[in-house]
Chains A and B, each alone.
Chain A
């Protein structure tokens, strides 16, 4: 008996998705050419599944700053900030982020995953209560599991259900922390944050918002959903990532709460991991400046998102409820979804396939994420390809007369 026997079922499912070159979960690019193009199995593809919302991975200033940092400070810090000490850039990036969000405190983590893991496992403890949206990202669930607070879920984006759950805890001692996300990563739907904040105020809880997919995307200044809905004062903690709009890797938490800094010596996923290398810090700071300065990126991003969302909807495909840079098409059968995904790649469009149980409502998703760097013609190409494949696979009627005027039968 193998120690891996427990994964037999998973192995079976994984293998059924096809060999390496056709398996959606073992994609390996030959080359990345730009923020929107790469080469996959010798074929040039439009990158439509990278969460590179502002398209800053090839930003010249970011690259120059990263090169300068690696040349002057080396390739890595080789240890944690608590043990090895911080570099000047770590503190500078934390001050930049605190200023950007208008908060007093910021902690930077080595990944976005660790930011959630660290914050959720530390700021609430035994006797406290975590109240999570049921569609929360894996990093939120994992952070909850790592800590000692009691964890309950409320129905996805349902403030009334949240209220009910807090009411049940009304006379129970301990801090209560509500966790919601700005944009949910699978369907691109946006949380009803104003209503959630109202429940939070009424019930005397704390509120954390994960703006991983909404920072740089929503809000007049790109501060995310809390800014867009005017409830920043009610949000006690904002967590986020550098690996989407900021085009690098890492995570952060900002807060105005007094005493926040003690987390630096209490939060294990912060303490016991190597800190971010100087090149990452440098390009992240550069990207944050650009995000802050250049509102045209957000305008272009939303125009591109609208083009894709409306284009796919017009074909008759089922897309998410809100226009956002995450545009997902829901299908019924996983087998169809895998074939659809392969046909898209063969036709020159790369995006993500998400299969249940990693999707809401047990349906497979073809998940696209739009970038400000996409050209309208790239998005048009993707929409056309979606239409062709959907008709070939019978997801849409074989020949669509939708665009033509109705024919009147001859008498």
Chain B
């Protein structure tokens, strides 16, 4: 799957978590800009894992700040699983 397509799916997932926030882009910071608490972030990550059929290791989660960071992690894990 292309990075852009992954990004779009992540953004649509975030819109579901925060329907009141309009502008979510690749550079949006998931925790700070969207004010998601740690439980909401965890639920969101679990839903992303389901959607892309991957498991994101916790140390990788810690490094994710923006939507694009997450998209790159998803892309990397998806490719690794197909390899």
Interface: B38 (CB within 8 A): yes
Name B59's contact: one of A151, A356, A357, A362 (CB within 8 Å).
A151
Q: Are B57 and A150 in contact (CB under 8 A)?
A: yes
Q: Are B38 and A134 in contact (CB under 8 A)?
A: no
Interface: B42 (CB within 8 A): yes
How many residues on the A side are at the interface (Cβ–Cβ under 8 A)? 17
Interface: B55 (CB within 8 A): yes
Q: Are B39 and A153 in contact (CB under 8 A)?
A: no
Contact string, A155-174, partner B, CB cutoff 8 A, digits 1/0? 10000000011001100000
Residues of A near B37 (CB, < 8 A) are 356-357, 362
A254 CB, min distance to chain B CBs, angstroms: 27
Q: Given the complex of chains A and B, what is the CA–CA distance between A165 and B55 in angstroms?
A: 7
Interface: B46 (CB within 8 A): yes
Q: Are A168 and B54 in contact (CB under 8 A)?
A: yes
Interface: B1 (CB within 8 A): no
In B32-83, the 8 Å CB interface with A consists of 37-40, 42, 46, 53-59, 81
Q: Are B58 and A153 in contact (CB under 8 A)?
A: yes
Interface: A360 (CB within 8 A): yes
B39 CB, min distance to chain A CBs, angstroms: 4
- Chain B interface helix/strand/loop/mixed: helix
Interface: A327 (CB within 8 A): no
A137 CB, min distance to chain B CBs, angstroms: 15
B7 CB, min distance to chain A CBs, angstroms: 22
How many residues on the B side are at the interface (Cβ–Cβ under 8 A)? 14
A157 CB, min distance to chain B CBs, angstroms: 13
Q: Are A155 and B55 in contact (CB under 8 A)?
A: no
Interface: A144 (CB within 8 A): yes
Known: A134-B46, A168-B81. A151 touches B57 (CB 8 A): yes
In A136-155, the 8 Å CB interface with B consists of 144-145, 150-153, 155
Known: A134-B46, A168-B53. A151 touches B39 (CB 8 A): no
Which A-chain residue is minimally distant from B80 (CB atoms)?
Answer: A172
Contact string, A123-140, partner B, CB cutoff 8 A, digits 1/0? 000000000001000000
Q: Given the complex of chains A and B, what is the CA–CA distance between A357 and B41 in angstroms?
A: 11
Interface: A361 (CB within 8 A): yes
Q: Are A357 and B38 in contact (CB under 8 A)?
A: yes
Number of A-B residue pairs at CB separation under 8 A: 34
Q: Are A360 and B39 in contact (CB under 8 A)?
A: yes
Q: Are A134 and B55 in contact (CB under 8 A)?
A: no
A187 CB, min distance to chain B CBs, angstroms: 13
Q: Given the complex of chains A and B, what is the CA–CA distance between A164 and B59 in angstroms?
A: 20
Name A362's contact: one of B39, B54, B56, B58 (CB within 8 Å).
B39
Residues of B near A360 (CB, < 8 A) are 39
Known: A357-B38, A362-B40. A151 touches B58 (CB 8 A): yes
B79 CB, min distance to chain A CBs, angstroms: 14
Q: Are B39 and A361 in contact (CB under 8 A)?
A: yes
A162 CB, min distance to chain B CBs, angstroms: 11
Which B-chain residue is minimally distant from A357 (CB atoms)?
Answer: B38
Known: A168-B81, A356-B39, A362-B37. A152 touches B46 (CB 8 A): no
Contact string, B16-46, partner A, CB cutoff 8 A, digits 1/0? 0000000000000000000001111010001
Residues of B near A362 (CB, < 8 A) are 37, 39-40
Q: Are A152 and B57 in contact (CB under 8 A)?
A: yes
Residues of A near B42 (CB, < 8 A) are 134, 153
In A160-205, the 8 Å CB interface with B consists of 164-165, 168-169
Which A-chain residue is minimally distant from B53 (CB atoms)?
Answer: A168
Q: Given the complex of chains A and B, what is the CA–CA distance between A266 and B60 in angstroms?
A: 27
Q: Given the complex of chains A and B, what is the CA–CA distance between A211 and B81 in angstroms?
A: 35
Name B58's contact: one of A152, A357, A361 (CB within 8 Å).
A152
Q: Given the complex of chains A and B, what is the CA–CA distance between A145 and B59 in angstroms?
A: 8
Q: Given the complex of chains A and B, what is the CA–CA distance between A362 and B44 in angstroms?
A: 14
Which A-chain residue is minimally distant from B46 (CB atoms)?
Answer: A155
Which B-chain residue is minimally distant from A134 (CB atoms)?
Answer: B42
Residues of A near B58 (CB, < 8 A) are 144-145, 151-153
Residues of A near B81 (CB, < 8 A) are 168
Which A-chain residue is minimally distant from B62 (CB atoms)?
Answer: A145
CB-based closest 8 A-B pairs: A152-B55, A151-B58, A357-B38, A362-B39, A150-B57, A165-B55, A168-B55, A152-B57
| Complex A-B: 13 CB contacts under 8 Å | A134-B42, A152-B55, A152-B57, A152-B58, A153-B46, A155-B46, A168-B53, A169-B55, A357-B37, A357-B38, A362-B37, A362-B39, A362-B40
